[in-house]
Amino acid sequence: MILDPRQIPQKNKAFLTGLFLAKFSRAGFRRLGFTSFVEAYNAFGFALGLRPTSIKGYRDEFDPLLPNQRIGWNNRQPHPYRRSIYEEYKDLDLETFAGLVSSFVGYDENAWSEVQPEKKKQDGGSLFAKRLITGLAAESYFEATMPRLDEFKGCALLNTTRLGCGYDFRLDPQPSGDFLAVEVKGLAEESGSISLTPKEHDTAEALADRFFLFVVKSFRKKPRHEIHRNPLAGTLKFRRKETRTVQISWHSSV
């Protein structure tokens, strides 16, 4: 059995996510902080570069092999390859399996808990769901949707999420022109609050009409998006909020 996400093929990550949801059902999506299967399908689907319905399809395919109340694909057996995955991972317990599928989208609960207040450490599932929706799932939604948007038609896309630029994507008009910057935010609900870091705010102010805020809403139902060009000068109202944190660590001489 392979538990290192770096050694698991991308397609198997989708199959295993479906198996996790089939095996643990509501306890499974709740452990990850989701409120429904639909929210889990949307978040994992976009994060793994798939349609959300694909995650549901894999769950349904595994259902007949498990003692749950859903019928699933009761009129046909799972594909032999998927059955082999089931046989390999079927005995994983909830915590181990939850940690595995979380790792597919780059989340390490133990590492992240080191910088969280004690109150939040007790609710790792909710933290995972929020970070997935506001981060990778929303960003992947933008990458999948961008080619169809008139605002960015003909632009070459560069993912800058790891470069600390003050925005998530750089778009270069073809054949030439000033680049556009897109910062992506995600919300589980139809409405909610979003925030800009000091770097993002400064970049939005400097780039003005070349800076876009792309907000993906309603992951709990059906994701949709809003585009705000030059958001600091538009209808959105941002107010400065200052937060102070204390981080404790333990040291020893060796």
Pick the CATH number of 148-233 from 3.40.1350, 1.10.287, 3.30.70, 1.25.40: 3.40.1350
To the nearest 10 degrees (0 to 180), the angle between helices 80-89 and 10-31 is 50
pLDDT of residue 109: 55
pTM of the model: 0.85
Express each pLDDT in 26-70 by its tens digit.
999 999 999 999 999 999 999 999 999 999 999 999 988 888 777
Q: In what order do the strands lie in the sheet with 211-217?
A: 155-159, 169-173, 180-186, 211-217, 224-229
What tens digit of pLDDT does each residue of 102-116 get? 999 986 554 444 444
Question: Do residues 173 and 206 lie in contact, with contact meaning Cβ atoms separated by under 8 Å?
Answer: no
Report the 10 Å Cβ neighbour count for 119.
Answer: 7
Predicted local distance difference test score (pLDDT) of residue 150: 94
**Structure tokens, 47:** 């994060």
Instruction: List the domain boundaries for the chain.
Output: 6-106, 148-233
Whether residue 247 is predicted with pLDDT greater than 80 in this model: the reply is: no
